Structures are given as C-alpha cells and as structure tokens.
C-alpha cells in the first residue's frame, strides 16, 4: 500500500490535541478497512509553537505545510499567551499559514442535522433542514491591509488604524469559488458587503456583478449589506444557499451562522488555494470552534467538527466523496442514536466524553465495513 496522501497535523492549543486524536483513529480505520494510504506528519502551531520555538509558526513547519497535500489544524490561542506581542501571538501563526499558503477561499458550511434541531437556540421551524455555505475571503481585506498601526500624532493624540483593501483579482477569485459551488447546490449566491458606506464595498459589488454577467449569469445573484445579512441569518436563514463575503464580515457572519446549528463544536471548515497546473490545490482544514482553554484536557470537547473537517479534506483534497460521506453518515448515526458531548447535550440524550464519542463513530464505521 502506498502512502499517497500526505497530511500535516497541526493540533495547536487547548482542546486541539485531544480532538485531533480522534482523527488519528479514523485515519487508522480507513487505512485498515478501506485500503487507503496516508502519510501523517505532525507539527506545532500557535501557543504550542511559541512555547517551543518562540514563534507561533516556525519556518520549517510552514515548509512542511507547503509540501503536504493537505493540513489539518486543531485550534490556536489561549489566555496563557495574552501578554505575548501581537506578531508572535498564537493567532499570528494561523494568519501566516493562511497568507503564505495563499488560502483565499474559506468554506464554512452551516448545516443542521435532524438529530440536532433542538440544540439550536432558534425555533425548530427556522433551522430544520438548514444547509448554507459561507465563502469567506481569507487572505486580504482589513486582516492584512496596509497601512495599519497605532501611532501618536504631533499634537499628542493617539490613534489606531487598519486598512480595508481589495484588488479586482482578489474579489474575482473568491467570487468564482462561490459561483462554482452554487452551481453544485441550489444555484443561488448572496454577495455581502457594505456598499452603502464603504468604497471597497462599492468596488466589491461591481466586481462580483461583472464576473456574474460575464460567466455566471445562470446563477441567481443577490447583493446584501452585511448588517442586513446578520439580521436575515437569524430571521430566516433558509433563504441562503451560498454567501460570499470579505474576510472580516465572513469572520462575523460565520460565527453567527455556526450558532444556528446549535454548537460551534459541530462545524468544519476548509481553506483552499488556487488549483495549479497539476490540478492540485493547497488546503487547510480546521474546525470553526476555537481552542476552548476552559475545557482543555478534560476529555469533554466535541471532536465532531474536527472529524467533519477531515471529511471535507477527503472530499476537496482527495476527491473522495465516498469516504467523506462514510464519516459524515457515521457521525449522523451516532447523534441520531442519542449520544452527545456536553456542548450539544439535550434532555433524553446521553452525555459522553471525547473518546467515547470517537469510539461510537468508529463502531458505526465498523458496521459499514462488515
Ligand atoms: C476564525 C478565527 C480567526 C480569525 C482568529 C483566531 C485569528 O476567529 O478563524 O474565524 O479571526 O480569522
Ligand atoms: Mg472567527
């Protein structure tokens, strides 16, 4: 068997390492029962890397990420590193990975599984059957725009500033990802900005409209202001299929969309780069939830978002929808059977630890293998 899938594991901080452990077990299962070859390497990112190397992403780790087919990341950050200078902070390591790997398209699905309809804080009829995809631009905008800083003016007044900036190619390439995805779904895109107050928003709208008219006129395109989008997401989220938006609005709206599903502990994400001449693209997969330092090490974290991120890797990096679905279905069966980690506990269900949730998912996989 050849180890043809080269994966870099970056568990990171907090609950990252413990949720990643469950993915190792699924990889072992796929190797044994599905005859797949994986070559898994592990590295440090975030606070863990800072503690070991004094930087939240070592150059060697970045090189390993560049050389792998796909990266799976746990989570970064925690109060332990609150006093570390911003450019060395755990989050800076993640931002550098995204930027250097040029992972401009961040796919954040929000789907409500039937078994979890009641875990949402919204009424069941609002969220039942929800399936939307946020495509967040990830390598430009105010997160990276220059100039930025904190300075003291000649008159002694201090000020802080960032720059929101997008080039036409940066907008076009992420909008293209959204239109392509929409064609495989229900063919509807909402492009979200603040064209009513921001020049960059006017420009975003122009560029998305231009691409739409030129190449994607078959897809329904709606423009929406970001504040309205936030409101519509909690009012009637099923009006959306694919939402495409900039880095900052995407950060906010994806947290909001995530919570429609009841728990951040359920949601995976994929960050994708451009397809090269060989049909390959750089990719990083990570759960949408953070490092949750308050529950780290207690074996109560939900491993599902990370397992589903791995399933996205199978689908998008290894073009293996069959094994992706196998994992997704196993997760759904376990939830339907009434097992829950603490974050998605409901009346009448059984609370289990991280590893017991992992055991149950492996048992479901075993049933398929038989
Ligand atoms: C996210 C996170 C990150 C972001 C942080 C950890 C830098 O909130 O992935 O949504 O703001 O992009
Ligand atoms: Mg965020």
| pLDDT score, position 216 | 98
Q: Is the CB of 94 under 6 A from ligand 1?
A: yes
364 vs 336: CA distance, rounded Å: 12
Q: Whose alpha carbon is nearest atom 1 of ligand 1?
A: 251
Question: Residue 86 CA: which ligand is closest?
Answer: 1
Could you tell me the distance, in angstroms and rounded to a whole number, from the CA of residue 179 to the centre of ligand 1? 24
Q: Is the CB of 211 under 6 A from ligand 1?
A: no
Atom of ligand 1 nearest to the CA of 286: 9
Atom of ligand 1 nearest to the CA of 254: 10
Does 251 qualify as catalytic in the annotation?
yes
Residues 6+ away with beta carbon under 8 Å from 211:
172, 175, 176, 179
Question: Chain centroid to CA 285: how far?
Answer: 6
Q: Which of 119, 9, 159, 124 is nearest to 344 (CA)?
A: 119
| pLDDT score, position 2 | 52
Q: Whose alpha carbon is nearest atom 5 of ligand 1?
A: 91
| pLDDT score, position 101 | 96
Q: Is the CB of 91 under 6 A from ligand 1?
A: yes
Q: Is the CB of 251 under 6 A from ligand 1?
A: yes
Does 276 qualify as catalytic in the annotation?
no
181 vs 77: CA distance, rounded Å: 31
61 vs 57: CA distance, rounded Å: 7
| 251, 267, 269: residue to mutate for ligand 1 pocket, most atoms within 8 A of CB | 251
Q: Whose alpha carbon is nearest atom 12 of ligand 1?
A: 251
Does 64 qualify as catalytic in the annotation?
no
Residues of the chain with CATH 3.40.718.10: 1-112+268-370, 131-260
| 15, 94, 99, 291: residue to mutate for ligand 1 pocket, most atoms within 8 A of CB | 94
Q: Whose alpha carbon is nearest atom 2 of ligand 1?
A: 251
131-260, superfamily in CATH? Isopropylmalate Dehydrogenase (3.40.718.10)
Q: Considering Cα of 175, then 135, then 257, then 126, what sign does the dihedral take? A: positive
Could you tell me the distance, in angstroms and rounded to a whole number, from the CA of residue 290 to the centre of ligand 1? 8
Q: Considering Cα of 178, then 260, then 264, then 228, what sign does the dihedral take? A: positive
Could you tell me the distance, in angstroms and rounded to a whole number, from the CA of residue 141 to the centre of ligand 1? 14
Does 118 qualify as catalytic in the annotation?
no
- Out of 3.40.718.10, 3.30.70.60, 3.20.20.70, 3.40.50.10680, the CATH code matching 1-112+268-370 is 3.40.718.10
Structure tokens at 37: 């070859």
Residues in the chain: 370
Burial 113-134 (b: 16+ CB within 10 A, else e): bebbbebbebeeebbeebebbb
Q: Give DSSP secondary structure letters for 261-311.
A: TS-GGG---EEEEEE-TTS-EEEEE--SS---GGGTTTT-S--HHHHHHHH
CA angle 356, 361, 362 (to 5 degrees): 95
Does 227 qualify as catalytic in the annotation?
yes
Q: What is the pLDDT along the chain (370 residues), one digit of tens a residue?
A: 456 899 999 999 999 999 999 999 999 999 999 999 999 999 999 999 999 999 999 999 999 999 999 999 999 999 999 999 999 999 999 999 999 999 999 999 999 988 899 888 999 999 999 999 999 999 999 999 999 999 999 999 999 999 999 999 999 999 999 999 999 999 999 999 999 999 999 999 999 999 999 999 999 999 999 999 999 999 999 999 999 999 999 999 998 998 898 878 889 999 999 988 888 899 999 999 899 999 999 999 999 999 999 999 999 999 999 999 999 999 999 999 999 999 888 889 999 999 999 999 999 999 988 7
């Amino acid at each position: 068997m050849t180890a043809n899938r080269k994966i870099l594991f970056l568990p990171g901080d907090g609950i990252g390492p413990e949720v990643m452990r469950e993915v190792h077990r699924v990889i072992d299962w796929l190797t044994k029962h599905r005859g797949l070859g994986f070559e898994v390497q592990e590295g440090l990112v975030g606070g863990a890397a800072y503690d070991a190397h004094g930087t939240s992403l070592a150059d060697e780790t970045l090189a390993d990420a560049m050389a792998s087919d796909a990266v799976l990341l746990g989570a970064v950050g925690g109060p332990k590193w609150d006093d570390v200078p911003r450019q060395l902070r755990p989050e800076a390591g993640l931002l550098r990975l995204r930027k250097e790997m040029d992972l401009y398209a961040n796919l954040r699905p929000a789907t409500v599984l039937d078994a979890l309809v009641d875990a949402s804080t919204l009424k069941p009829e609002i969220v039942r059957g929800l399936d939307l995809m946020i495509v967040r631009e990830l390598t430009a905008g105010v997160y990276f725009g220059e100039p930025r800083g904190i300075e003291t003016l000649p008159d002694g007044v201090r000020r802080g500033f960032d720059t929101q900036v997008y080039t036409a190619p940066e907008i076009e390439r992420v909008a293209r990802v959204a239109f392509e995805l929409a064609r495989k779904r229900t063919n509807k895109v909402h492009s979200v900005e603040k064209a009513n107050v921001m020049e960059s928003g006017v420009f975003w709208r122009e560029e998305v409209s231009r691409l739409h008219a030129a190449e994607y006129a078959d897809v329904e395109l709606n423009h929406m202001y970001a504040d309205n989008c936030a409101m519509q997401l909690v009012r009637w989220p099923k009006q959306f299929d694919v939402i495409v938006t900039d880095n900052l609005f995407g950060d906010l709206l994806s947290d909001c969309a995530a919570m429609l599903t009841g728990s951040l502990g359920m949601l995976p994400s994929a960050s994708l780069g451009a397809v090269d001449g060989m049909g390959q693209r750089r990719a990083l997969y990570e759960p949408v939830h953070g490092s949750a330092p308050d529950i780290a090490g207690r074996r109560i974290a939900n491993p599902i978002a990370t397992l589903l991120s791995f399933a996205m890797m199978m689908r998008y990096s290894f073009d293996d929808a069959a094994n992706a679905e196998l994992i997704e279905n196993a997760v759904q069966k376990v939830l339907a059977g009434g097992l829950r980690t603490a974050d998605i506990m409901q009346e009448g269900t059984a609370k289990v630890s991280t590893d017991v949730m992992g055991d149950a998912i492996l048992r479901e996989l075993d049933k398929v293998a038989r």
